[in-house]
Amino acid sequence: MDSHDDLDLSQWTWTLGVDWWKRIRRASRFACWGTEPQKRGCCQARDEYLKHKSKEQQLQKLKELLEKAAFLRSEAEVQSQLETGSVVCIDTVKDSLRRGVWVPPRELRPSLFKMLQRRPGVKGMERLQTMKRRSAEVFFDGKGGILKNLDAALDTVVESLGRNGWVACELGAHQSLMARALEEAKSLKPRMSRGTTVIQNEIIDPTTPNADREDRVLFLQEQGLSGPSAAKGPAPTLALLESAIIDIVMHLDPRLQRSGLQLRITERCDGMLSNYEKGGAYSAHIDNADGDGRVDGRVLTAVLYLNVGWDRYAGGELAIFQPDHGDIGDANCNGKWNMIYPEAGTLVFLRADHVLHEVRGAHAERYALSVWFCGQHADYGGS
């Protein structure tokens, strides 16, 4: 690399002060999935860092960067962010800390998935819609869920993601907690707004066929409903569930890296609460069919359903298409739709960049909490 390479960690540690070092080291696995101002702040600090030639100034800038990136203010705040799950990994911070030099974020290179563009055409989709539908297995249902069977469940999730691209599990949260979460979700309904479709980081005009969704959504962090203050807010249970999902994915990460998928989770998106009113649906789509326009695009979708006492005749299933043979874009593709009822506590993981799925028209109000995770496949040039 360049002259920044000779910044040595011990000096840097000394400059930051022991306390800072301890704090940052603890937070180094975790950094806020930045809001826009935070991200801008990081970029400014990085640019400043690169501009300055004196070590002292560079270190000061690096410190500023890390403060912003890791969103560090006080020990208590970091602790509470770790506990609430409002902070997650960002590789840049990790690498900077490890090496004691500023490691710039990877460029926003266009994702290779862009080339895959796996959406079937209209005719192809009509054909796929005629394929068989069957009920999906929900793992660990009636067995205490993921929470009671953590190791086995993590293995199952990774194995199923590798083999099928998706998996449904029972979370294992107490039904009274799910009932509270549902009440909170209902109370937030007036704050929800129409869901948007994003292609290559651009919001698509909601009237185009590409944006064929009828949900209303709310982003938790954006609305101040996750993170340290969430416990005193109107939706503490949703914040807790969001952090449980994030925690599970943090545990999945090393396993996903070691698995055949060789997938590394690097960021998470803000938790999204969704509501479908009676009749609402979301037509078949891949969440991230175009790489989100960047290398660390969304790779994993987690959806937790909140509907206590869901009537199975009310529709609203999540239908996931799984090819038996061929790819969804192929003219001779065959496969099955796996139907998952949106029952409270069912947690679905699917590969955001691969898996075709849809929400079937619901005849009752339907609530879900989704979190997307970004990352890189090893063969994407990620280290």
Ligand X SMILES: O=C(O)CCC(=O)C(=O)O
Nearer to ligand X, 161 or 318 (CB): 318
The H or E element that residue 173 is part of is none
Give least dist CB 318 to Fe ion, A.
8
Instruction: Give the closest residue to 92 by CA, choosing from 266, 293, 251, 246.
Output: 266
Nearest-5° angle of CA 149, CA 377, CA 212?
Answer: 85
Nearer to ligand X, 170 or 287 (CB): 287
Supply 313's token pair: 């005749």
Nearer to Fe ion, 287 or 296 (CB): 287
Nearer to ligand X, 82 or 308 (CB): 308
Q: Does 270 contact Fe ion by CB under 5 A?
A: no
Nearer to Fe ion, 27 or 300 (CB): 300
- Residue number, nearest CB to ligand X: 318
Contacts to ligand X by CB under 6 A: 274, 282, 287, 303, 318, 357, 359, 368, 370
Strand blocks (E) in 18-105: 31-32, 87-88
Which residues 274-303 are close enough to bind Fe ion by CB under 5 A? 287
Compute how many residues bind Fe ion; rule: CB under 5 A: 1
In degrees and rounded to multiples of 5, residue 340 shows phi and psi of -120, 125
Please choose which of ligand X, Fe ion, none residue 303 contacts, taking the beta carbon within 5 to 8 angstroms, the exact cut-off set by kind: ligand X
Please choose which of Fe ion, ligand X, none residue 180 contacts, taking the beta carbon within 5 to 8 angstroms, the exact cut-off set by kind: none
The CA-based diameter of the chain, rounded to the nearest angstrom, is 68
Nearer to Fe ion, 157 or 319 (CB): 319
Please choose which of ligand X, Fe ion, none residue 266 contacts, taking the beta carbon within 5 to 8 angstroms, the exact cut-off set by kind: none
Give least dist CB 229 to ligand X, A.
26
What radius of gyration, in Å, describes the C-alpha atoms of the chain? 22
Query: What CA–CA distance (Å, rounded) separates 316 from 7?
Result: 56
Give least dist CB 116 to Fe ion, A.
17
Q: Does 317 contact Fe ion by CB under 5 A?
A: no
Please choose which of Fe ion, ligand X, none residue 368 contacts, taking the beta carbon within 5 to 8 angstroms, the exact cut-off set by kind: ligand X
Binding mask 213-252 for Fe ion (x = CB under 5 A): ----------------------------------------
Please choose which of Fe ion, ligand X, none residue 91 contacts, taking the beta carbon within 5 to 8 angstroms, the exact cut-off set by kind: none
Query: What CA–CA distance (Å, rounded) separates 206 from 197?
Result: 7
Instruction: Give the closest residue to 282 by CA, choosing from 307, 308, 314, 317.
Output: 317
Nearer to Fe ion, 88 or 348 (CB): 348
Please choose which of Fe ion, ligand X, none residue 252 contacts, taking the beta carbon within 5 to 8 angstroms, the exact cut-off set by kind: none
Query: What CA–CA distance (Å, rounded) separates 367 from 180?
Result: 13
Supply 45's token pair: 């600090």
- Residue number, nearest CB to Fe ion: 287
Give least dist CB 72 to ligand X, A.
32
Please answer whether residues 252 and 158 qualify as being in contact, where contact means their C-beta atoms are separated by less than 8 angstroms. yes
Count of other CB atoms within 10 angstroms of residue 379 = 8
Give least dist CB 179 to ligand X, A.
19
The H or E element that residue 150 is part of is helix 150-163
Instruction: Give the closest residue to 162 by CA, choosing from 72, 262, 271.
Output: 262
- Going by their DSSP bridges, the two strands 133-135 and 334-340 should be labelled as parallel
- Enumerate binding residues for Fe ion (CB under 5 A): 287
